[in-house]
Chain A
Amino acid sequence: MRRAAGLILMAGAALAQATWAPHLEVGGAFPNLVLLGVVAVTWTLGTRAALVWAIVGGLLLDLTASGAVGPHALALLPGVYAIGFWIRNLEHPNALHVALSASVCTVLYSTVLLLTGDLLGTSLTSLAVAAQLTVAAAAYNALLMPAAFELLRRFQALSRVALQPT
């Protein structure tokens, strides 16, 4: 039940990213809703669950993008893994940590996406433009991350209540 709800949420995030999010473009960057969802899952459910949801969300993004299927899913994985490490060694996490984790994940996501593009011969973005877009996207995602985290926490609490036997 929870997995089905999660799948619907992730599919909604991927589709909203391809249809609605580009309308919110600022400085060439727009929010990466799947990335925000995956980072929120890493904080709430742990690394293993987040790695699986990163694959689901990433593959859905690949289906809305041009070219090969897999680069977006691959690009989401290192961020989740790195945040997982960080969470493990963090004593008192707060909203700033959550926001910062979205920035770190965005930087890793963009780097891997560009490297995969180079490997597959599909990327020609100059380093300066890529850096500018990555910084803008990292800042954008960091701003939205605390809200996404809170949203997922409430959804989690709600689904717990709904699934409790009466």
Chain B
Amino acid sequence: MEGARAQSHGTGLFLFLCAAMLLLAMISQQPWAAGARGMAKSALAPVESAMTSSATQVGHITSVFGDVSSLRAENSRLRAADEQQRRQIVELQAAAKENDALRKALNFQKSSGHRMVAADVISRGPDGFSRTMEIDRGTADGVQAGMVVATGAGLLGRVKEAGPRMAIVQTLGDPQSRVNVYLSTSHLQGTMMGGPASLQLEIQHMLGVSASTGEWAITSGVGGGYPRGLVVGEVASVTHRATSTSDEAQVAWVNDPASTTFVLVITDFMPS
């Protein structure tokens, strides 16, 4: 700490670096810089992929420890259980979960009638403000910015930018995300917005009809941003606003971005 205090404060360096980074941000934001930006981001993709896969392994190991501690308190008989057998069970459970996700994805791919590219999630946005995830497929695999991304459960988001071997997906949880939906029972239309905890839905009023909890929110295709018929989530609560032209609802998203590891990019639909 003494060494740090003895150092000069570096105001000049601070101002220079601030100006340089601001300039870099403004330049790299330009559409003509998208190719170079994508290539630079693609360079990190293999390392991120390796780290994510090692995190999954660590997750398996920690879940073994988690199981051990909770079961010990619950039943002393399990103390003598064989650790190796337990690890195998946890691994089998993880494999079954993954198989289930893959089976759902395969069913979704078959039933939707769209052409799709399967991709693994390799990282997530580094700050809490943007809800994005990086996938290991890019322009080399036919993935382009604007394409819709789903899982076997339903809509996940949209490709925001794509490099040769990676793409960044803006999930529905991102504050910038907007999706037009209709409700399965009342057929009311609305716009879904992203949020940190749950998805917010603004429902347009219609005389004599009101939204209720338990209805499914499904993409309406209005605006041409998303294909019609993709499941987004289930209405968890509705706030009726008599003085407004719209009601507000909280929607429980069918996808949990924190645990999503495998996605499908719809390659034959581009937003109009």
Are A and B associated in one complex? yes
Within 8 A of B (CB), among A64-95: 64-74, 77-78, 80-81, 84-85, 87-88, 90, 93
- State whether B29 touches A65 (Cβ < 8 A): no
Binds A, one of B2-10, B68-76, B107-115, B203-211: B2-10
- State whether A48 touches B10 (Cβ < 8 A): yes
Residue of A nearest to B134 (CB): A64
Residue of B nearest to A129 (CB): B196
Given A20-B55, A69-B40, is A77 in contact with B21 using a C-beta cutoff of 8 Å? yes
B89 CB-CB contact with A under 8 Å: no
CB contacts (< 8 Å) of A66 on chain B: these are: 125, 130, 132, 160-161, 168, 170
- State whether A64 touches B48 (Cβ < 8 A): yes
Q: How many residues from A make CB contacts under 8 Å with B?
A: 69
A102 CB-CB contact with B under 8 Å: no
Given A51-B17, A66-B161, A124-B175, is A87 in contact with B5 using a C-beta cutoff of 8 Å? yes
Q: How far does the alpha carbon of A5 sit from the alpha carbon of B77 in the complex, in Å?
A: 48
B1 CB-CB contact with A under 8 Å: yes
Q: How far does the alpha carbon of A116 sit from the alpha carbon of B168 in the complex, in Å?
A: 20
Residue of B nearest to A122 (CB): B176
CB contacts (< 8 Å) of A103 on chain B: these are: none
Q: Which of A69, A72, A122 has the most CB of B within 10 A?
A: A69
Q: Which of B9, B132, B196 is within 8 Å of A28, CB to CB?
A: B196
**1/0 contact string of B19-38 vs chain A (CB within 8 Å):** 00111111011000000010
B96 CB-CB contact with A under 8 Å: no
Secondary structure of the A side of the interface? helix
CB contacts (< 8 Å) of B129 on chain A: these are: 110, 113-114, 117, 123, 125, 130, 133
- State whether B9 touches A84 (Cβ < 8 A): yes
- State whether B14 touches A18 (Cβ < 8 A): no
Q: How far does the alpha carbon of A18 sit from the alpha carbon of B135 in the complex, in Å?
A: 12
CB contacts (< 8 Å) of A42 on chain B: these are: 4
- State whether A51 touches B10 (Cβ < 8 A): yes
Task: For the A-B complex with A70-B24, A84-B7 known, give 7 more contacts whose Cβ atoms are closer than 8 Å.
Answer: A19-B124, A46-B4, A46-B6, A48-B10, A64-B126, A66-B125, A120-B25
Q: Which 9 A-B pairs have the closest CB atoms?
A: A46-B7, A70-B25, A74-B21, A18-B123, A70-B24, A68-B29, A28-B196, A46-B4, A66-B168
A-side interface residues toward B, CB under 8 Å? 14-23, 25, 28-30, 32, 34, 42-49, 51, 54-55, 58, 60-61, 63-74, 77-78, 80-81, 84-85, 87-88, 90, 93, 110, 113-114, 116-117, 120, 122-126, 129-130, 132-133, 136-137
B-side interface residues toward A, CB under 8 Å? 1, 3-11, 13-14, 17-18, 21-26, 28-29, 37, 40-41, 43-44, 47-48, 51-52, 55, 59, 122-130, 132, 134, 160-161, 168, 170, 175-176, 195-197, 258
List 12 contacting pairs A-B, 8 Å CB cutoff, sorted by A.
A18-B48, A32-B126, A49-B7, A64-B44, A68-B24, A68-B26, A70-B21, A77-B14, A81-B11, A88-B5, A110-B127, A125-B175
